[in-house]
Amino acid sequence: MIKRILLTLAGLVVVVGILAGIKTLQIRRMIDQGKHFAQPPATVTVAAARTEDWDQTIAAVGSLAAKQGVTVAADLPGKVVEIAFTPGSLARAGDLLLRLDTSSEEAQLRALATTESFARTNLERFSQLLASQSISQAEYDNAQAKAEQATAQADNIRTVIAKKTIRAPFAGHLGIRMVNLGQILKEGEPIVSLQALDPIFVNFLLPQQQLARLRPGLPVRVTADALPGQAIEGTITAINPEVDPATRNIRVQATVVNRDQLLRAGMFVNVAVLLPDSHLVLAIPATAVLYAPYGDSVFVIEEKPAEKDDQPGKVLTQKFVRLGEKRGDYIAVDSGLQEGENVASTGVFKLRNGQAAVVDNTLAPEFKLAPTPENN
């Protein structure tokens, strides 16, 4: 019985030893394969870091304001009897917009016009009598006063009629109609918005540190989300003489041409003030940067020397960089990269330091400083 147990234990020990040996051989083989494993080369597009002359700009956020803009309102109360404008149309200065009921005033004017005409005729008669010394100076003065009083009363009614005949104070773009025929308007009640939009003002704030670099006449470039891919040129026309004591910002106003009236008052825009001096930057495509919380980096394409049986080739070397201004498809590199170095320009998130690389620019995108989206 004891002999049988010992034989069984010996058999188990042999089986365990065989299994352990097999597993040890498998692990050693895997380790050897890992030591000799070569990661397949990555196909990359490359772009060279190059020095470019960029204009210096001051960026700001602005809002648009009409050169002239009002909400046309009623000066006097009255009933709307005529609406002479089309909402959304263009109006010229002096165009009739709306007419209130003036029948009562016109009747009064006819009566006063008769009185005025009689007073004028009477004044001429008294003037002839005064010349022949048939009346006194006091009688003539009394007739002159009555004539002037009649004219003033008629002019007062004419003014009331003019105020009830509402016209465009300047040329501009009309908005949505806010009145209806037959409506009784109160004094000051809005009728329609009128905005002169060409040219249009751009108001923006800049920190007081930039004041020495600003002056009227400097060009500005305006872009808006409502006009993707378009940049509108203008010039600085006014700089506030005082600095806001709360924010230490100075208010600046630029004027831009708006012939198609695509820009509207109240819109949010991005403003770039173009300074007269420029500076040299080392620029690379923005897509070449691998952004990370611990630091931004790029992958430089370097030549790999031949070692033993390996063939010479290209290898990726990760370099950390400090970035500067971004413009269009490019971004400036302040440090960490040299001019002429080739960097991987696309798909950097899947690359690894020391990985072999194969350069293929067949499908490389075209990078531009001022890209314009294509219309599909």
CATH number of the domain bearing residue 337: 2.40.420.20
Tell me what pLDDT residue 322 has.
92
Distance, CA of 269 to CA of 121 (rounded, Å): 65
Q: In terms of domains, do 200 and 272 share one? A: yes
Strand, coil or helix: what is 360?
Answer: coil
Q: In terms of domains, do 170 and 95 share one? A: yes
Q: In terms of domains, do 321 and 289 share one? A: yes
Asked if residue 72 belongs to a domain, the reply is no
pLDDT tens digit sequence for 80-124? 888 888 888 888 888 898 988 887 777 777 777 777 777 777 777
Q: In terms of domains, do 176 and 265 share one? A: no
Please give the mean pLDDT across all residues of the chain. Answer: 83
Report the sign of the C-alpha dihedral through residues 33, 36, 39, 41, in that order. Answer: negative
Q: In terms of domains, do 85 and 119 share one? A: no
pLDDT tens digit sequence for 43-81? 888 899 998 888 788 888 999 988 888 888 888 888 888
- HSE at residue 49, side-chain half, CA atoms within 13 A, is 25
Distance, CA of 66 to CA of 196 (rounded, Å): 6
Distance, CA of 355 to CA of 344 (rounded, Å): 12
CATH number at residue 146: 1.10.287.470
Kindly report whether the peptide bond that precedes residue 199 is cis, defined as omega within 30 degrees of 0: yes
- Tell me how many domains the chain contains: 4
Asked if residue 29 belongs to a domain, the reply is no
Q: In terms of domains, do 85 and 182 share one? A: yes
Tell me what pLDDT residue 161 has.
83
pLDDT tens digit sequence for 129-180? 767 777 777 777 777 787 777 778 777 878 888 888 888 888 888 988 988 8
Can you say how many angstroms the Cα of residue 145 is from the centroid of all Cα atoms in its chain?
Answer: 63
Q: In terms of domains, do 46 and 89 share one? A: no
Q: In terms of domains, do 118 and 137 share one? A: yes
Asked if residue 127 belongs to a domain, the reply is yes
**Which of 14-28, 157-171, 215-229, 351-365 is predicted least confidently?**
14-28
Provide the pairing of β-strand 42-44 with 356-359.
Answer: parallel
**Which of 154-163, 185-194, 341-350 is predicted least confidently?**
154-163
Question: What's the average model confidence in pLDDT over 328-346?
Answer: 89
Asked if residue 26 belongs to a domain, the reply is no
Higher pLDDT, 373 or 206: 206
Provide the pairing of β-strand 330-335 with 342-344.
Answer: unpaired
Helix count and strand count (H, E) for the chain: 3, 20
Asked if residue 351 belongs to a domain, the reply is yes
Q: In terms of domains, do 62 and 203 share one? A: yes
Q: What is the pTM of this model?
A: 0.58
Give 176's DSSP letter. Answer: -
Q: In terms of domains, do 184 and 82 share one? A: yes
**What's the pLDDT band for 299 if we cut at 50, 70, 90?**
very high
Residue 335, domain extent? 42-55+280-359
Provide the pairing of β-strand 165-167 with 184-185.
Answer: unpaired
